[in-house]
Structure 1
């Protein structure tokens, strides 16, 4: 059977729904332990070992969020799947931030959806490489250290963000990147970054964070930390996600949602295969635009509309592949006409404080 010998802790206050789900899971081979509220669930969790926890979020005595937080303190290795009504999606976001593997929304039209969710999260646990876990733990420690610093005061946020911005001109083997970002207060709502990935790929991205306040500094740290995590995995031969724009934006959206910081991001993410002059371009949100630049000016690339990062029911990024011709540059810019004029004038100055220029800017890749 599909769930043979899988030990499930089912925590649900609705006795009818709990019985229906328990009967189904047992019929599929699982061993099910039932609890009527979070307090009972936590008690049973502390007394025996389970392969997965399936829990409602809205329960009396102890709610699902408090229960999951307490369970994480006892054994964070056990995956959990949360069940929610449509009216408590904010709790789902918090549950994902606490480490829940997946979520299901009531009413559940087909109980096999639950079986599929259980199998998927168990597969992720089974195939977790110990080296991968160690690297993820290191990355999250770096992230937590940075976020703790940002929480101290606005000056710390400004200082950390400024350290993340590169020089205005960055030279790589076979490529050069130039940019200007203009800000009109201490914190920039825009961020750019780039790095070599191995010897054959270069990635670059530009992001615009919402809301445009101190949380943008949090957003920069989050984004850089998540990208660095995938970069480490690539260098250790464990993942190619960082050079796959579609998968990278999907991953970044998942991590932004789980951060629980209510930050939304317009982003264009580009991966260049340097030996073939081939670019993969993925976009989320509509606040930025990608252009090809040549002697005739800027030509916008037609990318379909897509949602910003940070949205739970996100969908998919828009994506395009392009082979750059001799003399072509690849650019990302905000929609402001002044920024595009400055780009065409090659006004590359890095991060600039200027109240007379609208916030935003541009980045250019030249091979």
Structure 2
């Protein structure tokens, strides 16, 4: 009988020798060809000579951790399926790994080998093991749990806030926020889209009751996909963020989330030094050192059946954006490397 992983080359990137050896033995017993790496740097060196069908990697590793490894590969256009197996309890790390495009994440200790086997096969054969119906069922199960437990939803949202300082897409980004410590206010999210561009948004969650937090979680899950889809249709042109906000407005309505959702969305291309901003209900001002621009705040999402928005575009290598509303005030700062 043919072994389930016969002929499949799997690269194991794991700094713990015992767990690395256990994975090696177990995968080999299922017919896989394995290669071993101790960290991200070691993995990249191995991949000069091999093209694995699947990579299994940890997050916390010396020299180059798993998140840096995945980000490097995706920025280089490498779409090797990746399964993360990690002991992390940091939701921000898990969210970033999923955002970077890993196929799945399992938490250590891995005790159920049948589940591990199914996950490995699902990563290798996604069309056979994952259906859209199953994915939607899992999403709605999680969504129902969050809807029924607002404090848990608010706690999850707080854990997913980005680091106050980071370097992404060849840009140094940091922010300062002034909100009430015991409740969500202005929610910020920042994410790289490629090695040369990034996107961000700020959502005021205080004007829709519990629906504000739920809308923020929904937006965090779908924002990158919506923007990447629009960029793929734009060709070489910069994105039309007004169109994106209209899509978000419709999503909130389809998710049965009534309320007002003041939202500002931005996009920056570090190569072109081009910043795009559009606001639906949040106050904002842009300072580039040479210019000071007031951003028209428009009408919050959820107010009307559609959204009517104006987009501004400005060329600059560094900038500060002040954003404020009922939920507080924040300052987002960026400079290119």
| Alignment TM-score, normalising by the size of structure 1 | 0.49
Q: Which runs of 5+ in 1 are unaligned?
A: 1-130, 337-357
Q: Does 1:292 align with 2:287?
A: yes
**Matches of 2:138 and 2:320 in 1, distance apart?**
32
How far residue 276 of structure 1 moved from its aligned partner, in angstroms, is 0.9
1:313 aligns with 2:301: no
* C-alpha distance in structure 2 between counterparts of 1:199 and 1:330, whole Å: 21
Higher mean Cα deviation, 249-258 or 212-221? 212-221
Query: Matches of residues 179-328 of structure 1 in structure 2 within 5 Å?
Result: 179-184=175-180, 186-211=182-207, 213-230=209-226, 233=229, 243-285=239-281, 287-294=282-289, 300-324=292-316, 326=317, 328=318
Structure 2 match to 1:364: 333
Give ranges in structure 2 of 5+ residues lacking alignment.
1-126
1:236-268 per-position Cα deviation (integer Å, ceiling 9, x unaligned): x57779943122112111112222211322122
CA distance in 2 between counterparts of 1:149 and 1:136 reads 20
Count residues with an aligned counterpart.
Answer: 207
Matches within 5 A, 1:113-132: none
Residues 154-202 of structure 1, C-alpha deviations (whole Å, 9 max, x = no match): 3312221122211111211321221233332533121111111123321
CA RMSD after TM alignment: 3.4
Check 1:190–1:259 CA distance in 2 against 1; reply closer, same or farther (3 A cut).
Answer: same
CA distance in 2, matches of 1:308, 1:135: 36
Q: Counterparts in 2 of 1:107-186, with a 5 A limit?
A: 143-184=139-180, 186=182
TM-score when scaled to structure 2?
0.53
SS at match of 1:322: strand
Name the structure 1 match of 2:38. Answer: none
Between 1 and 2, higher relative CO (CA 8 Å, sep ≥ 6) is seen in: 1
CA–CA distance in structure 2, aligned partners of residues 192 and 322 of structure 1: 21
Residue by residue over 1:9-33, the C-alpha shift from the partner in whole angstroms, topping out at 9 and shown as x without a partner, is xxxxxxxxxxxxxxxxxxxxxxxxx
Q: Classify 1:333/1:303 alpha carbon distance in 2 versus 1 (closer, same or farther; 3 Å).
A: closer
Distance in structure 2 (CA, Å) of the matches to 1:366 and 1:172: 11
Alignment of 1:16-31 (within 5 A): none
